[in-house]
Structure 1
Amino acid sequence: MSLSTVRLHQLLVAAAILVPCVVLLGAALWNRAEVLREADSSLIRTAAVMHEHASKVFDTAELAMDRVDDYAFDRSWSQIGSPGTTAFLATLKAPLAQAVAVWVVDPEGRVRASSRESDLGRDLTGRDVFGVHRSRDIGIYVGPAVRDGEGGERLFSVSRRRSTEDGRFDGVIVIALGTGYFARFYAEAAAPTAHEALLLRADGAVLVREPDDPQAEPRLPAADPLMRAIHARPQGGSAVGTPPGGAEERYAWRRVGEYPVQVAFSTPTAVAEAQWYENLKLYGAVASISALTLVLMAWLALRRARAEEAALADLRRESAQRMAAEGQLRQAQKMEAVGQLTGGIAHDFNNLLAVITGSLEVLQRRLARGDTDVGRFIDGALDGADRAAKLTHRLLAFARQQPLEPRPTDPNGLISGMIDLLRRTLGETVVVETRFAPQAPPIFVDQNQLENAILNLAVNARDAMTGGGRLTIETARDTLEGARPAVAITVRDTGTGMPPEVVARAFEPFFTTKPQGRGTGLGLSQVYGFVTQSGGTVRIDSAPGLGTAVVLVLPVHDGAAPVEATGRGRLPAQVPERGRRTVLVVEDDAMVRSASAETIGELGYRTLTAADGQAALACLDNDRDVAVLFTDVVMPGLDGPSLAAEARRRRPGLKVVFATGHGREGEDGPRPAPGETVLRKPFTIEDLAAALEAENRAQASV
């Protein structure tokens, strides 16, 4: 063996030892950066959860103060100090788990009305939640955390001036929030490691600290790293700092809306590094084994090279197949998750729309009688509510939770009836053609949704045909899974077409290739949701420069011949006198309950209200004049269908109207029995009148 060969083997052995060490060092540095980056991401996510929770609490408190202000606006202090106000405040506070008490304080600083009778007459002149409002209206003020009496719960107060016509100071409205409510939520939201969750004011005063530390200062000094970071970026962010005399900390914070309050979450850097140290042990073991293996196996390297190359090729193929399968799984999970998300958003949004539409329409009707000229503002609000409702319907359609009204439908007849509308909508530059399958069987779909889907696809096609082109709508017999007969409706254009990567994402919600302001990205998602909810399938055939064809495959109706669609007119909002028939309104949301009762009262009915099923049953037992039960479907405790069943057992002649903001309850929503009607939120006053009139007609016929 020559000297050069010995040196070559020595270098190979040295490389077998040094290379794993270098790799270990590089991997350790990279892994530390990844561990700290993940720790920062976790902090930011936790702070975002805390921010969302605090925003809802403070917004709810502000809404509650607005309700108290509206209630007390035209009342004198003697009226405010009456038992009726105390009962109102107690009722308002009852559903607010975060609230300890609600006070109305007179200009001398004494509590004149409170949700707790023990607070009446309490002197707040020395408290800043009262004093800061004397000189000027500063809006919402958040006071420091204090103890509620000796040995009582810690709380902090949110206050605002009481509204007056001339702007003078005439007392304040205060809501006391318990710190324990926030601390319990923070404890659940935080990871089970060393951390500190804070709710603090802009001046550093700590409102909530979790975990609680009796030795900690009640206010963060301006030199504290967190306070310096907040002053630099008050809207939110993340940072790393070392407090005086302590170890390095990692912070994330967010400002709570426009309130002078911040949420912050921190954890020691050492906690994140502990995971890194565990990883280093594994890396060290792997590096040691690798070095030993390289030394022992160096002389077999050449012999095994070809076998390893073949094995590596197999591994690459396996990895590519696995990545493709994982990509398909992620896409399916993403589509399902977005469907669930849109369903939840639509439910909450519909409740808000019910309040907006009902309240503004009542207001519009009253103003129309000559109170004042603000109709244009109400019309604008109603238009905004209508747009929000349409967006909600699109979200529900993608989520496949939009209530459908399927009926036997002649596809050729439906499309023929749309041709004039399509030609007017698309303009003279687009030629519209039809190719119908002879004697196409009827399909079982919601006619309105199918018309909307075809119109949506036609508008997309027009936008893709710059300078005009040809739009062809075809019908043909087809089949679905299991050899079920179906009809394929194809909307084909001569536009620019789409590349494969765009086709792959076309059904994703909010994905659009149109310029900003030209589309929401929900059109094809809505089509996808409607078709799949109807039991069919949808596909896109497209290529750049070859146009696009969207094919809707819908199941054939296996019953009687199709019926012609009939238009449905609205009932007039002004209904005739009905002898003050009594309607019992049952709704767990106080705002929706109040708006519904006001709207029904505006239609000429006498109304009673109940916050839950048990209260409604008690009201039915006490008032025999109740003719109609108007109830929400999803409520805590006794839900709407159960309440209706029990109420009609007690009162067989009682009529029921269900009001629901969900896309569906159970599998297909509440199934109305004879004498029952389902009204979908958001509903207009005309929809409500129609539902109540239907019940009146049903009752009159008995």
Structure 2
Amino acid sequence: MPYPEVVEEVASRSQLRLAIGLSLLLLAFVAIVFPHAAQPLIVLPHVSGMYGAAIAMIDLATFWLLISASHQPRSHAVIAAAYLYGGLMAVLHVLCFPGAVFIEGAVIGSSHAASLVFITWRAGFPLFILWAVLVEGLPERTQSAAASRMPTFVAVLAVAAVFFAAQWTDVAAMDTAGPQQRFSAFTVYGSYIAAIIAVVAIGLIWLRELHHRSIFVWLMFVLTAEAAGVWLSTYSGGRYTLAWYTTRVEGLVASAVLLLLLAQHFRRLQRHLAETVGVLKARTDDLQAEIHRRESAEAKLAQAKKMEAVGQLGAGLSHDLNNILQVITGRLSILHRRAGALADADVEVIRRNVRKAEAMTRQLTLLSGRRRMNAQPLHLATAVTDIVDSVRPLLDGRYSVKLDLAPDLPDLALDPLELEIALTNLMTNARDAMPDGGVIELRANVDATPDGPSAVMLTVKDRGAGIRPEVMERIFEPFFTTKEPGKGTGLGLAQVYGFAKASGGQVEVDSRLGQGTRMTLVFPLAAVAIGAAASGVTEEGGSAADGQGRKARPSGLGPAMAGAATSSPIQAGEVILLVDDNDDVRDASQQLLAAGGFAVRAAQDAHEALRLMDEGLVPDVLISDIVMPGGVNGVELARRIKARRPDVRVVLVTGYSDVAQSASEEGYPVVRKPYDLASLLSVLGRG
């Protein structure tokens, strides 16, 4: 709500009582002075100059404050013009009064001009107030800037007219009566008329009920002082009497009243503005915070969408690459059997590179955090210590690892292989950030709150060059790297990000140029508590690598697969129904199984597999790819075959599939491509 202009402020009862009381007190003072009004006092012409200068400053200051208001009703503009008129007339009176400035004579005009100036001054001010009272409450009309300043122009023109009139006529000239100069009849009756105009203005203010407005309440007091002063001064008959001096004092008090009112008004306005600024600042801070939150949310949403898109791309690539790796793995096993020990070195090189490629496909599936982790209960202190020991061979003598493990580390449900890959990526990044060597700090601690432990934090810290601000926003972006060609794939931190997100945690980064970088994996206990682990796709089908050519420790079988592997071991000569839509994968897998002593019938999709069973095929084992064309995937095929023959054992294989988790939850063992014969036989319960 806008703060009201001074002319619109409502007067309180205390203000009205105070103004009336001061007016009565003033009239009582006039009554006391009245019997002695003509008492001559010492002649001090310069008092008039001082009085006029003071009145001019007060009235012009009042005018400036009034005219500076942003919104000016017509009554407001007229009151401002009244004080401009009063201030200019005070200046003119000083210049015309003999002895006010110079010891003898006036600055301008004749020595008789001062009386005419005084009378028109005292009569003109209440006329302006009458004008303001008459226009108050009338409908405001749209008008030009020049028209809105008309009262100001009238005030200036009136002062100019009085000045010229005072120079052309001596109608208000003083009469000499003995030692004292007496006012002329024009001055006497003019003063009485000025007093009557002031009284009329007071009456109109009261009749129009403007005394409910603060400024008009105090204008009644000003007009009372004007009327009493001009009448008393004239009644005294001449200058330098008790009444003449008293009138100057009353004039100063009356002029200062409205200035004080304006000062109080602007003080309240300043306080109101300060409060408004405070409110606006608070709202601006809230708005900026909301904008930051929105921008942060939008950035996170964009990042999530980008990661989701990359994750979908990674899933597709992973599926296709694992099929290719399966062909290579299968054919490699066949060639190894044929070539024997002569090919051992070459076979090992190929297998090592297959493991590297498999590790990359695993990272591709982790980019968006969509893949379910093969979470297992981990004693965190032991797991972290083992990981550090396995990473040390990747560091030369210039690097040392400072391990700081809190004594109260809880057991967590995490994928051990993904945890190892993530910490390996972070530690090798820390190594690369310090090309001249240094200390890599790895700390594991619990973030405690008053309600107890809330999260486990794994922090890897280096003292390298730090991450540049323009790079910080892209560090988790897949395939983005600042390393030299051949030194990095850009998937390391993407894997860290995906692993943390898929495990219910997050990654926090604190990096300062020239001081180093701190990467922290934060795992809320509620998200990774023991017992919350869900069995996922087993890694038994391959021996994943960490991207550095080092074989990672296998994560083991999930509970569902363990039961399937031990309940009914497969025997040589049993019939295996192999279903895979990829011709090369199907052919390689068929030869691999045949080499293991099994009778293998192959089908390219679920419809062909069901047709073979309709024709009389009775399989002992179903090995089927999960992702297949034709509308029936491997999981649905397993359900249909189990419905026909409940004793058929089922193993599902996949390069990547979103439904692999549901297959595991239904009790079907799931093997990840690429797999070799030994891995497959271990799942089938032999070997």
User: How does the TM-score come out when normalised to structure 2?
Assistant: 0.49
Q: Greater share of helix residues, 1 or 2?
A: 2
User: How does the TM-score come out when normalised to structure 1?
Assistant: 0.48
Task: Give the greater-gyration-radius structure (CA).
Answer: 2
Q: Greater share of strand residues, 1 or 2?
A: 1
Relative contact order, higher structure (CA 8 A, sep 6+): 2
